[in-house]
Structure 1
Amino acid sequence: MMLNLDYSFLTGSVVSGFIVKGLVFSFQLTFIAMIGGIAIGTLLALMRLSGKPWLVTPAAAYVNTMRSIPLVMVILWFFLLIPLLIGRPLGAEVSAIVTFTLFEAAYYSEIMRAGIQSVSRGQVHAGYAVGMTYAQTMKLIILPQAFRNMLPVLLTQTIILFQDTSLVYAVGAYDLLKGFEVAGKNYNRPVEMYLLAAVVYFVICFSLSMLVRRLQKKIAIIR
């Protein structure tokens, strides 16, 4: 049986009033979680590579725990439990931003750890030889090369992060998928809007994937 699809209701006001609003938050959540996740993930990676048990153990426990729990459960736990601890609600949007940043840090940490290990240990010894400290060696020699090596993988993880932002529906945050859902309910066209949502997500993620591939080729040429 053919679906009787009707997109005649999809006007500029519908797009700007429902879809664009959700798209803006999805991009904001992705960008903030990416920046914060990479920053915290890099710190976790350095802790795990430090060789000091009092740094390695908590960092490894954090990463392994986060990577072993479904994201939607972390979102719900943070949204429901943290307000009980601090005595006031955070709001769906703030809760989603904090949760995604902390959760993605575990994945970015593993990427950064691999990137740091991909840099020759001889360069670390060279940094020590000219009088640099561990922090200076990492900051000036190792991390710039690690970021370049892992940039395509970091961006690929960010694409996955953008896809995962649809999970904030669990706490009622107004993301891209929520915008399509609300528009579908208001105009009694849920099937059309969910199909359109799938197309929009595909176009965005596929386009970003193509950009990452081009970047990966350029980095390979530089090497």
Structure 2
Amino acid sequence: MNTAVISNNLLFFFVGAWPNGPLGGIALTLILASSAAILASILGLVWGISLTLSQGWLRRILLAVCELLRAIPVLLLIFWCYFLLPIAFGIDIPGVLTVIAALSLVSGAYLAYTVQSGIRAVPDGQWEAAHASGLNRYQVLRLVILPQALRIVQPSFVNQWVVLVKDTSLAYIVGVAEFTFVASQVNSREQVYPLEVFGFIALVYLLLCTAVQWLGKRVLAGRVVA
């Protein structure tokens, strides 16, 4: 095994063509994953609460959109966003932003159901006791129900963040030079070291996913306690 191919291209693996070109590699993968994770978490939280509290036609619309996003393959949604968002807004939207938008929408749809399930898992007695103490419906949700629900759904949030790290590799379809993309470029240039290159890819994703899992548990645990 020739590890020199890794060490000789290490900077390219980390930042791509930057500073002589656009940022790429592991750095761009982290930007994509962290941005999508933040947006998806916010969207999933708001969406999940809305699914819980809404009724009638509004709830049916929210459910329909959620089901649609969960049914569309992530790769296809990235492709659609890349071509449809510029048409919808009349401006040229960078591939990085379209990837973040697509990943956020899909993950937000999954997390919406997660949040809804977490809220429903809290015993009805909690609602009744909080109402009896004089709190209105939204105060009960924010101060009593959500802290317990987030504790219940914490593993699902962390799992979705890990999935996001891996799904950033799908950005290649719109030419975004994330880690897998630049690693494939190295493999095409070197040609004779696929085992070393793709083994390095697997190792890096393992380390990234492990770090996200470790960090995510502590961030969520700290916020739930707070």
Name the TM-score, length of structure 1 as normaliser. Answer: 0.85
| Distance change (3 Å), C-alpha of 1:7 and 1:189 | farther
**Which residue of the partner structure matches residue 143 of structure 2?**
140
Decide whether the 8 Å contact of 1:75 with 1:168 is kept in 2: yes
Query: Aligned runs of 1:48-197 on 2, under 5 Å?
Result: 48-189=51-192, 191=194, 192-197=196-201
CA positional deviation for 1:79: 0.3
Decide whether the 8 Å contact of 1:181 with 1:190 is kept in 2: no
Q: Give, in whole Å, the separation in 2 of the partners of 1:202 and 1:127.
A: 44
Q: Deviations over 1:9-56 (max 9, x none)?
A: 3326x2123334421221222222112111111111122112411331
Which amino acid letter does the alignment assign opposite residue 47 of structure 1? S
1:199 aligns with 2:203: yes
Q: Could you say what the CA RMSD is over the residues aligned between the two structures, in angstroms?
A: 2.5
Q: Give, in whole Å, the separation in 1 of the partners of 2:210 and 2:192.
A: 26
CA positional deviation for 1:189: 4.5
1:19 aligns with 2:14: yes
Which amino acid letter does the alignment assign opposite residue 103 of structure 1? V
Percent of pairs with identical residues: 25
Q: Give, in whole Å, the separation in 2 of the partners of 1:137 and 1:103.
A: 29
CA positional deviation for 1:100: 1.1
Decide whether the 8 Å contact of 1:18 with 1:182 is kept in 2: no
| Distance change (3 Å), C-alpha of 1:94 and 1:189 | farther
Secondary structure of the structure 2 residue equivalent to 1:11? helix
Decide whether the 8 Å contact of 2:6 with 2:197 is kept in 1: no
Q: Give, in whole Å, the separation in 1 of the partners of 2:177 and 2:11.
A: 14
Decide whether the 8 Å contact of 1:19 with 1:179 is kept in 2: no
Decide whether the 8 Å contact of 2:69 with 2:109 is kept in 1: yes
Q: Give, in whole Å, the separation in 1 of the partners of 2:193 and 2:66.
A: 38
| Distance change (3 Å), C-alpha of 1:184 and 1:19 | farther
Q: Give, in whole Å, the separation in 1 of the partners of 2:180 and 2:212.
A: 18
CA positional deviation for 1:208: 4.9
| Distance change (3 Å), C-alpha of 1:89 and 1:51 | closer
Secondary structure of the structure 1 residue equivalent to 2:6? coil
Q: Give, in whole Å, the separation in 1 of the partners of 2:192 and 2:179.
A: 16
CA positional deviation for 1:59: 1.1
Candidates 2, 5, 9, aligned match of 1:6: 2
Q: Give, in whole Å, the separation in 2 of the partners of 1:82 and 1:126.
A: 47
Instruction: Could you tell me which runs of 5 or more consecutive residues in structure 2 were left unpaired when the two chains were aligned.
Output: 16-23
**Which residue of the partner structure matches residue 39 of structure 2?**
36
Name the TM-score, length of structure 2 as normaliser. Answer: 0.84
Decide whether the 8 Å contact of 2:2 with 2:193 is kept in 1: no
